[in-house]
Structure 1
């Protein structure tokens, strides 16, 4: 009986020896005795995915699982496919523009300064559209295509009023952008901007049309004019985007990005503006036919009229544009429009009363200076329009041959 405990101990030792020596070849079949394998794959709950075990029980992070896609090729949803299609279509037409100007330091030594912007190819002949402020005062302009090739550019013409510039390069295999019609744009429409923000070429951002409004460019690099029917967007537009295309969901150009409301931060605040492409088409047409922009003008100085002012000075309408002065020999004077003849002060501001009150053009009501400016943009210098005015209490229709504004110039053959 005393031998039984001894035999039991010997039996246990023999079994332990067997398992730890001769049973080593079967360890891979006993995961509960040897831990989880280094990397094993088992189906996950989600279709098209696998659960990969990583690490080991004795590793620094222990054992954990990664869920990975089982698909070799990436899958894109409909929205992503549209984004990619727009980018692939438009990118070959978008260019980076580097302008070099010379300034002088304290010791009157020349110091080259570079600015960057964007633009896009108009035709295979090498015409490129951008903003005037991108190349303003530059001694040299270089264009870099999407394939990274660089070319020296010639400035063909500029329009300071609309902040547009036409360049030309000589390069093979150019891909022209497709221009759309900006006349039917609506708020909420999806838009894309491609350009060179902060020198990061080929950058695309997406947003929508936030508003369509007339804005002044006074105090900006745009030359102190006004942009009628400007496209406001929340697509991120930053320094370097200027002159680049604003695109619709088909990759067609609907505008030229030109300025941002930055509150002094010099970066996107979600409010950017683009010149409508129809405005650019009219400017390009003038360049093609006349070698310069023939922006139409009535050659007048005006005062906007609202209900308060109309009541104070006894006007027959509480809206419109009051003619304060007509330029000598200008379009309005030749047509018989009358300026003011009575000097009064509105606060500290002198104004001339007694002139004609413009309330319409070609049958369309003119309530504000923006309405008048918009009506003029539909015409060219030399066109004959019908201007409706109140002269005292009488309503008159006068035929006016539009003049040619002198602040837009061209620089044919200027090489930079």
Structure 2
């Protein structure tokens, strides 16, 4: 083979190789159409590169932790033992042998729930001893003890509570206390460092770190204590355990941006996520409780799907892909109905603030009180509309809601049952409902003259017992049990504490 033939073969081989490489490259590019182009930056990274955005750049938690920990307190509560009426009578096995009711009290006497103790955390928000914590930390407690990080202890008294948002305000008699400065929870960003401070697992004051992992989260936990829950949690991965409830969530400037309230866990202990009430909601609730004794909660009067609107419903209603809150209903008499908003509309903004989910809308509305005028932006038939809405209270008006006791809400004349009536009807005591007026009891169909002997099986002997049982009752509905003097048998009435 001469040199010319060799060069020809080499040339053909090289050409074939180049064609093969070029062809393979084209095939790969066509197959993987999402291959990123070198040097091209997506819009979501605008302003990111070149701004020293290292996640660990200049992060130091010591100053924030040192400033905040003196203002986070340990709350210990005690609930006295309760006697529960035994509604399921048992046969006395010694009745035939000894006769009479010698052992009836042993087998059919009231049961006793032993004294209970619990603990949580709280945040001092004023130098004269106002403390914010969770409602579920102090709910039903007979005694509240507050211990500061310097080991000084005080007796705490409840100023007011709001089960809907799970917030309570407690007061101690002290002056010159350290307190936390409010931050702005609207400024919290995904990925931002945060610190959780509290007293988990009965330990001394403890600081944990994490990031904001989500905002405007609703986990339906407040439905356990309110028929009108307000949930728009800041979700973090800072370690939070039982005992952290009511403690502080702060940013790296040491500012309070949330009150730790719940954890997501299959075991009841920390398993990755915790939830804090945004401080912008906390401020409104605390201010109302201090000023009015109860929260002045505003309602916009919109029903919306808890899980968002399905694709099927979108197709049925002809709704395009618009982020917002789908309106299922606007009850007559409500604020939204009066403003002309109706079923099928999609709310996109509250006072100019974009809302894409129900919890985001609830969070924005929760910052206002009845009588406040806000703007609501919504879409209908592809067109954007903005209307002014005057918010209302639950009663459908703009009046200031008074802080009525639970007994006032019952709407009845009550008194301790006469000893003769109690003896004649074989009861240890009870509360006589003399006259039913306008209030919660009217909806139960209870009649005048009824004697309440237990609430959720907790024995009731006096009006004070009734007040304590209703105040500490869990859930929105309780069971009243009692008798009509002179008539046989016991009667039960379900009572909705939410007034439904």
- Find the residue that maps to 2:201 and give its secondary structure: helix
Of residues 337, 340, 361, the one that matches 1:372 is 361
- Find the residue that maps to 2:288 and give its secondary structure: helix
Q: Residue in 2 aligned with 1:334?
A: 338
> 2:155·2:172 contact (CA, 8 Å) conserved in 1?
yes
1:309 maps onto 2:313 in alignment: yes
Of residues 62, 66, 71, the one that matches 1:93 is 71
Deviation at 1:161, TM superposition (A): 1.9
Q: Residue in 2 aligned with 1:381?
A: 370
Larger radius of gyration: 1
- Find the residue that maps to 1:115 and give its secondary structure: strand
Q: Residue in 2 aligned with 1:174?
A: 177
Runs of 5+ consecutive residues of structure 2 not aligned to the other structure: 1-55, 87-109, 396-400, 406-466, 472-500
- Tell me the distance in 2 between the aligned counterparts of 1:172 and 1:393: 58
Deviation at 1:104, TM superposition (A): 4.3
- Summarize the alignment of residues 22-37 of structure 1 with structure 2, pairs less than 5 Å apart: none
Of residues 207, 216, 219, the one that matches 1:204 is 207
Q: Residue in 2 aligned with 1:241?
A: 244
Q: Residue in 2 aligned with 1:116?
A: 119
- Tell me the distance in 1 between the aligned counterparts of 2:298 and 2:222: 23
- Summarize the alignment of residues 219-368 of structure 1 with structure 2, pairs less than 5 Å apart: 223=226, 225-228=229-232, 230-263=233-266, 265-303=267-305, 304-315=308-319, 320-338=324-342, 355-361=343-349, 362-363=351-352, 366-368=355-357
Do the aligned partners of residues 282 and 366 (structure 1) sit closer, same or farther apart at CA in structure 2, a change above 3 Å counting? same
- Tell me the distance in 2 between the aligned counterparts of 1:168 and 1:328: 41
- Tell me the distance in 2 between the aligned counterparts of 1:115 and 1:207: 26
Deviation at 1:83, TM superposition (A): 4.3
Question: Aligned-pair RMSD on alpha carbons?
Answer: 3.5
- Tell me the distance in 1 between the aligned counterparts of 2:382 and 2:191: 44
Q: Write out per-residue CA displacement over residues 32-68 of structure 1, whole angstroms, 9 at most, x where no aligned residue.
A: xxxxxxxxxxxxxxxxxxxxxxxxxxxxxxxxxxxxx
TM-score, normalising length: structure 1: 0.67
- Summarize the alignment of residues 109-188 of structure 1 with structure 2, pairs less than 5 Å apart: 109-188=112-191
How many aligned positions are there? 320
- Tell me the distance in 2 between the aligned counterparts of 1:386 and 1:249: 34
> 2:165·2:231 contact (CA, 8 Å) conserved in 1?
yes
Q: Write out per-residue CA displacement over residues 170-197 of structure 1, whole angstroms, 9 at most, x where no aligned residue.
A: 0244211222222222233222222111
Deviation at 1:388, TM superposition (A): 4.0
TM-score, normalising length: structure 2: 0.56
